[in-house]
Structure 1
Amino acid sequence: MDLRQALKQRVLVADGAMGTLLYGNYGIASAFENLNLTHPDTILRVHQSYLSAGADVIQTNTYAANRLKLTRYDLQDQVTAINQAAVKLSTKARAAADHPAYILGTIGGLAGDTDQTVLQATPATVAASLTEQLTALLATQQLDGILLETYYELPELLAALKTVKAQTDLPVITNVSMLAPGVLRDGTTFADAVIQLAAAGADVIGTNCRLGPYYLAQSFENLAIPATVKLAVYPNSGLPGTDQDGRVVYDGEPSYFEEYAERFRQLGLNLIGGCCGTTPLHTAALVRGLASRTIVPHAGQTAQPEPTPLAATIGRHTFLQKVATQKTALVELDPPKDFETTKFFKGAQRLKAAGVDGLTLSDNSLATVRIANTTIAAELKLNYGITPIVHLTTRDHNLIGLQSEIMGLHSLGIEDILAITGDPAKLGDFPGATSVGDVRSVELIKLIKQFNSGIGPTGKSLKQATDFRVAAAFNPNAYRTDVSTKSIERKISYGCDYIITQPVFDLANVDALAAALAAHQIHIPVFVGILPLVSKRHAEFLHHEVHGIRLPKSVLTRMAQAESDGNERAVGIQIAKDLIDGICARFNGVHIVTPFNRFKTVIELVDYVQAKNLTLTK
């Protein structure tokens, strides 16, 4: 049975990541595709592991095995050898498997790569590079199909598909990569991309990389496309993070994939695999999670509810004075992703009226492009009288740029900064972009505070002293608290004035933080993070896909029951209130992160924090 027939008859499970598996498990950080020649046994073991886990479909280790990308390693003359060795290894692995399997020749997209060889390539050069790789793959006559994956731009994928269709009758799987669910980087909706790719002759159309199961599932909900279109999904294991050495790591659990396997089938998916961060354990979980291999029609799915309108709270710059004696709430908002800012600023006014003590503004969180938070902060302060706390990352600024930003904030009268490293640039809208690393976050704190002396980093007078108050970030979920507390001591030694933590979901982490701070006699203000849960899916997404966050089983169970009972919002708010009760028993500061623009929820929690001050005065 050929691949086209198999896709008509049942849901197929595909393999998972190759690159991140080699990087994470084998410590390999060179050209992964060259390992087909230099370490064939390693690549063979990876294929065999996925097949042993139950994969019906495996792909060749050829994602970047084209002339343009291999040039950076001086391997441009090895295109044919690398690609044909990859097919040979896949074929050898399949021959030893205990079940039938299909092999896809993989060709990756180029858009978003910042290597100069790729950036300077003309359309003709790109087409020639693709043709050379495709010719090498097809010459083996061992492939069951071609996989075009990780294409951020639809025109590039359509051009690649046209080239492939002109040279082979093999089935072609086309996977776009999205930075946000349901839309490509150029603004094309996923539904429109599917329709155009189907019209151009793609046999299977889907998406891979960038996002985990939670968001990719959303992209297939209510998908208005012809019922005859076959669909594929290759999610990442979750959102990546970085370890203490600055390496990108994934910690999404295989059990999460087990649950989403059946969900993907119910959404009408024909081919289900994995991308970055996935392993053979995730593939085995997909196999276990499928209740059936029967294909489900993908039409008529239910759309996700629209976010609730904006609302919340804020006040004058008194929060550091207030938090010394009273329960104090800060609220975090993300600046808008587009130029429609009316709702944002109307919401900010409602925040001020409700009495929030400060509004923190993220700096392109998850390396996703938004309006500059310094611009939004200036409007909030100058036009609305709202106190902004600006996140300032070392990721986007070299030493010159950081000093310029600091001077600009002072000129605008903005006095509160959260100094952070920022999420790695490769995780966001432009994975080919580079993160800047001139200084660490602790050194940024020192740099900012030096401006308070009126002296610049070069020793020259600034003619005026600034008056910045600097916050540092802390994640009580990520590492052993006693070890992490040392990082707080270091940040204090550099001039940190207060701490803002990542969201917590387990009061045991709050207890550990309070005990550690007391043991080390650290007495600066701490604002402990709260992120209200809006649904069972939201809870599972945070637990499985967000690096450094794990929810207690009790919380996951409560949200699962809430889904059954139809009261997820109410239960999510109650969980947040329970956490606030525990936090306020130990700290005066609460930092509420706004989920999905659910400002009504945030207002309720802010009111809950403020009510504690009334209780204390009675």
Structure 2
Amino acid sequence: MAVFGVPDNEHARMLLSPLAAGRAVREVGGDPLLHLTCRDRNRLALESDLLGAAALGLENILVVSGDYVTLGDHPQAKPVYDADSVQLLQIARGLMEGHDSAGWPLSGSPAFYLGAVVIPQAEPLVPQLIKFEKKVAAGAQFFITPPVFDLEKFRQFRQMLPPHPVKLLASVKVLSAEEVAQAAAGQWRQVYSIPPEVVQELSGLGPEEVLAKGAEVAGRLLKQIKAAGLADGVCVKAKGRSDLMAMVLEAAGV
């Protein structure tokens, strides 16, 4: 396992500060990938957190826009979005060049490995490809996708993706019974684009059975992505459970 993702109030739900969580991962010997969302802070706070990350030895940064607060568990919270994801990449790159977003020089310069998100399932796809190029120009060195369930859509995305010098990591996800029920009712996140046959395969099972079957599905997708050479690596989302992670990797033959 190369890195461990450390989310920043993922899905607009309150979680432990990624700076604290990332440091905890580092202290037990892991290599954290710190997520940084545009939703909750202005650029002053974002720059402060980036410098804090560098001081804690957290150099891997994934820049994300962040789900809107009405989708999370604090719908009354006020979103910020002072900087969008492209601007935050530019801000981070500026810090690496030795200045802040206001143009003031720093006494030193941090080193980051900057990542961003690209959505292969977006419809229409062309605006997403344009944003991909903007993020590369802004300093993104790697990209991670939302969970891939529709392999054909992902294949089409790769065919349309322009030549680029950055790494692409495809995500696979273990679905829960609640998520399967939401997908069956048409309420699940559209960026996931879950095919009906996947929903059918995971329907009618108990909570633990769904997770086990979901791990099998995720492992199968990982194996297909790897065999087809569609990504440079894979991000596995397994509910934070090592047993499910092992099941995904076993199903993938990794």
In structure 2, what residue type is equivalent to 1:437? Y
Residue 419 (structure 1) aligned to one of 50, 53, 63: 63
**2:166 corresponds to 1:524:** yes
**2:21 corresponds to 1:380:** no
Partner of 1:574: 216
Residues 464 and 607 of structure 1: CA distance in aligned 2, closer, same or farther (over 3 Å) = farther
Structure 2 Cα separation of the partners of residues 398 and 603 of structure 1: 39
Q: Are 1:426 and 1:434, in contact at CA under 8 Å, matched by a contact in 2?
A: no
Q: Are 2:219 and 2:247, in contact at CA under 8 Å, matched by a contact in 1?
A: no
Residue 495 (structure 1) aligned to one of 119, 127, 139: 139
In structure 2, what residue type is equivalent to 1:532? V
**2:52 corresponds to 1:408:** yes
For residues 73-152 of structure 1, the aligned pairs below 5 Å read: none
Partner of 1:555: 198
Structure 1 Cα separation of the partners of residues 200 and 71 of structure 2: 30
Structure 2 Cα separation of the partners of residues 608 and 446 of structure 1: 39
Structure 2 gaps, min length 5: none
Residues 427 and 557 of structure 1: CA distance in aligned 2, closer, same or farther (over 3 Å) = closer
Partner of 2:14: 369
Q: CA-atom RMSD, angstroms?
A: 2.2
Query: How much has 1:534 moved relative to structure 2?
Result: 4.3
Query: How much has 1:359 moved relative to structure 2?
Result: 0.6
Residues 542 and 557 of structure 1: CA distance in aligned 2, closer, same or farther (over 3 Å) = closer
Residues 481 and 414 of structure 1: CA distance in aligned 2, closer, same or farther (over 3 Å) = same
Residues 571 and 399 of structure 1: CA distance in aligned 2, closer, same or farther (over 3 Å) = closer
Query: How much has 1:533 moved relative to structure 2?
Result: 2.9
Query: How much has 1:502 moved relative to structure 2?
Result: 0.3
Query: How much has 1:576 moved relative to structure 2?
Result: 1.5
User: Which structure carries more relative contact order (alpha carbon 8 Å, separation 6+)?
Assistant: 2
Q: Which has the larger radius of gyration?
A: 1
Structure 2 Cα separation of the partners of residues 571 and 610 of structure 1: 16
Q: 1:47-102, CA deviations, whole angstroms, 9 ceiling, x for partnerless residues?
A: xxxxxxxxxxxxxxxxxxxxxxxxxxxxxxxxxxxxxxxxxxxxxxxxxxxxxxxx
Q: State the TM-score, normalizing by the size of structure 1.
A: 0.38
Query: How much has 1:594 moved relative to structure 2?
Result: 2.2
Residue 232 (structure 2) aligned to one of 588, 591, 596: 588
SS in 1 for 2:120: coil
Structure 2 Cα separation of the partners of residues 407 and 489 of structure 1: 26
Q: 1:161-203, CA deviations, whole angstroms, 9 ceiling, x for partnerless residues?
A: xxxxxxxxxxxxxxxxxxxxxxxxxxxxxxxxxxxxxxxxxxx
**2:180 corresponds to 1:539:** yes
Structure 1 Cα separation of the partners of residues 198 and 92 of structure 2: 39
Q: Are 1:542 and 1:550, in contact at CA under 8 Å, matched by a contact in 2?
A: no
Residues 610 and 385 of structure 1: CA distance in aligned 2, closer, same or farther (over 3 Å) = farther
**2:28 corresponds to 1:357:** no
Partner of 1:600: 243
For residues 172-571 of structure 1, the aligned pairs below 5 Å read: 356-381=1-26, 383-517=27-161, 520-535=162-177, 537-542=178-183, 544-548=186-190, 549-560=192-203, 563=205, 568-571=210-213
Query: How much has 1:568 moved relative to structure 2?
Result: 3.9
Structure 1 Cα separation of the partners of residues 149 and 252 of structure 2: 17
Query: How much has 1:542 moved relative to structure 2?
Result: 3.8
In structure 2, what residue type is equivalent to 1:528? A
Structure 1 Cα separation of the partners of residues 79 and 3 of structure 2: 29
Query: How much has 1:608 moved relative to structure 2?
Result: 5.4
Query: How much has 1:437 moved relative to structure 2?
Result: 2.1
Q: Are 2:220 and 2:251, in contact at CA under 8 Å, matched by a contact in 1?
A: no
SS in 2 for 1:488: helix
Q: Are 2:96 and 2:112, in contact at CA under 8 Å, matched by a contact in 1?
A: yes
Structure 2 Cα separation of the partners of residues 480 and 365 of structure 1: 25
Q: Which moved more, 1:581-590 or 1:391-400?
A: 581-590
Residues 376 and 494 of structure 1: CA distance in aligned 2, closer, same or farther (over 3 Å) = same
Q: Are 2:219 and 2:250, in contact at CA under 8 Å, matched by a contact in 1?
A: no
Structure 2 Cα separation of the partners of residues 556 and 458 of structure 1: 49
Structure 2 Cα separation of the partners of residues 576 and 415 of structure 1: 28
Aligned residues: 249
SS in 2 for 1:392: strand
Q: Are 1:510 and 1:583, in contact at CA under 8 Å, matched by a contact in 2?
A: no
Q: Are 1:360 and 1:389, in contact at CA under 8 Å, matched by a contact in 2?
A: yes
In structure 2, what residue type is equivalent to 1:538? E
Query: How much has 1:587 moved relative to structure 2?
Result: 1.5
Query: How much has 1:567 moved relative to structure 2?
Result: 5.2
In structure 2, what residue type is equivalent to 1:441? S
Structure 2 Cα separation of the partners of residues 594 and 476 of structure 1: 21
Query: How much has 1:575 moved relative to structure 2?
Result: 1.7
Q: Are 1:475 and 1:502, in contact at CA under 8 Å, matched by a contact in 2?
A: yes
Structure 1 Cα separation of the partners of residues 179 and 102 of structure 2: 48
Q: 1:126-146, CA deviations, whole angstroms, 9 ceiling, x for partnerless residues?
A: xxxxxxxxxxxxxxxxxxxxx
SS in 2 for 1:563: coil
Q: 1:293-326, CA deviations, whole angstroms, 9 ceiling, x for partnerless residues?
A: xxxxxxxxxxxxxxxxxxxxxxxxxxxxxxxxxx
